[in-house]
Structure 1
């Protein structure tokens, strides 16, 4: 399966600009989830009506599988401004089970109570285990059970479907 990364990013940019206009969201805080979500968020920033710098979130310690044996996390830095009563656009590369997004929202609420959180996803795999859906989706994908999306970057930003077997 060949993915068109540029087309998916262009779709997201158009959707995020339209979404902010329809919802009257001005100067939102864009938060990228490390690592792929940060790369995608960097690509989206030009389409978002904001003067705020890109914020980043590392959800390592908020994951529900953190205590499982064998997890050796590489922890990145979380950089969030004050979120109280602000509109947040949360960005990640892939939505699969929804557990990463749940962890990200838990961390965001530890920093304050935003006015809203909108979710922007590059690829939605439709394999949700939690009732979480994206407001902005670059592309919906249906993969075989042994396939995953792998985003590499940041320069150049590339994507591939890889087999896990």
Structure 2
């Protein structure tokens, strides 16, 4: 008998003792009621939301999922969104340097294209220069700690 076998047998006996003496199991008087609702009623009965109690909620659904007979009462139409802000040309050039230069270098590397040294140095300088420009143009004042950017 090896020491590992003794440890395994002792461990199995300990687990069996724990399982056998776990505790008394409760006796259930009545079985739980069975519902005729979908999924046994665990997720609610969708038939409760139909205007006609005998009607299936999926039958006769109108456009965009509204129930039959739904009428737009007020006809709210949201205002058109404001136009997207324009990026200044200098910042756009900086972003092109930050994202475009590594992209060109990565494509050249993956496709095994040889680029002249001066173009490689120019792409690296474009990346570093664009990054530094964007860092310098960042706002210096701290943001309001309660400002999450939402506007009402």
TM-score by length of 2: 0.19
User: Whose relative contact order is higher, 1 or 2, with alpha carbons under 8 Å and at least 6 apart?
Assistant: 1
Q: Which has the higher helix share?
A: 2
Larger Rg: 2
TM-score by length of 1: 0.18
Q: Which has the higher strand share?
A: 1
